With several copies, the nearest count.
Chain A
Amino acid sequence: MRDTNEMTIIFDSRPVNEGFARVAAAAFLTQLNPTIEEVADVKTAISEAVTNAIIHAYGNEVHNIEIHCSITGNLFQVEVKDQGIGIEDIKQAMEPLFTTKPEEDRAGMGFAFMEAFMDHISVQSRAGEGTLVTMEKRIGKERETWTTQSL
């Protein structure tokens, strides 16, 4: 706890807040001195999870979405939590191209993007109770490798 910096944001599940959520998380991430690429990765992953809460979990009704971010050393961790409809089959939901809303032009690539841009993702969900997406990313990996190699 001593060396962990933490923040939580709670906001209405309105599409206009998608931008707010990813900028707030990126502002918190700044203290790790991330590259532009790392910031873009984190913003994209959070945008995916938040969009899913808005359209899938709450079906466009306005309820709360909660994001918890923590920084320990160079590890950035983020949780995105909703109390929406939940996911029946998590394994299937995470398959690339799988979507339950093709009529809204969803690409089914949300979880695939989260997996691609973060180091680790885990999804906890129960039908009718909501979903918790936890993601992690180590910031400055390239710099580390570079430093080690240059010794």
Chain B
Amino acid sequence: MNYKIQENYLTVYLPKEVDHYNAEEMRKEADLLITHNHIRYLIFDFGETEFCDSSGIGVIMGRYRLLNLLGGEVWAVHVGARMRKILTLSGVLNIMKIYEEERA
């Protein structure tokens, strides 16, 4: 899993294809990093992501639950049209905000 930690921010760079096969590793590694590094802000970077099924949504929801317990937040960046459709459809946009670079 590719990631970056800055203070209490963890950025996870999601792979080209997010499915159950690679979601397994991601959720375990992310949880370790979150609990060991006092993470409060988790940022999912979809810049490279071309494919994502509901296993990816499960990873986001699970991390949201953990961050929520810790009083933190979950964000998404570099969300293309396809990912936006999937995030909208699954309702996770109610718990995770999209960071729009253009407006920043």
A-side residues, CB < 8 A to B, are 15-16, 18-19, 22, 37, 40, 43-44, 47-48, 51, 54-55, 96, 104-107, 109-110, 112-113, 116
Candidates A18, A44, A116; contact of B20 at CB < 8 Å:
A18
What residues of A have a CB within 8 angstroms of the CB of B55 in the complex? 51, 106-107
Candidates A40, A107, A116; contact of B61 at CB < 8 Å:
A107
With known contacts A15-B20, A18-B21, A40-B82, A107–B90 Cβ distance under 8 A: yes
Please determine whether B19 and A107 come into contact, CB atoms closer than 8 angstroms.
Answer: no
Give bound CA distance, A30 to B77, whole Å.
29
Most central of B20, B59, B86 by chain A CB within 10 Å: B20
What residues of B have a CB within 8 angstroms of the CB of A19 in the complex? 17, 19, 21
Q: Mark B4-42, 1 if CB is under 8 A from A, else 0.
A: 000000000000010111011001000000000000000
Give bound CA distance, A113 to B62, whole Å.
18
Contacts between the two chains (Cβ within 8 Å), count? 65
Count residues of chain B with CB under 8 A from any CB of chain A: 22
B-side residues, CB < 8 A to A, are 17, 19-21, 23-24, 27, 51-55, 57-59, 61-62, 82, 86, 89-91
A-side interface mostly: helix
With known contacts A105-B61, A107-B61, A18–B90 Cβ distance under 8 A: no
With known contacts A37-B82, A40-B82, A18–B58 Cβ distance under 8 A: no
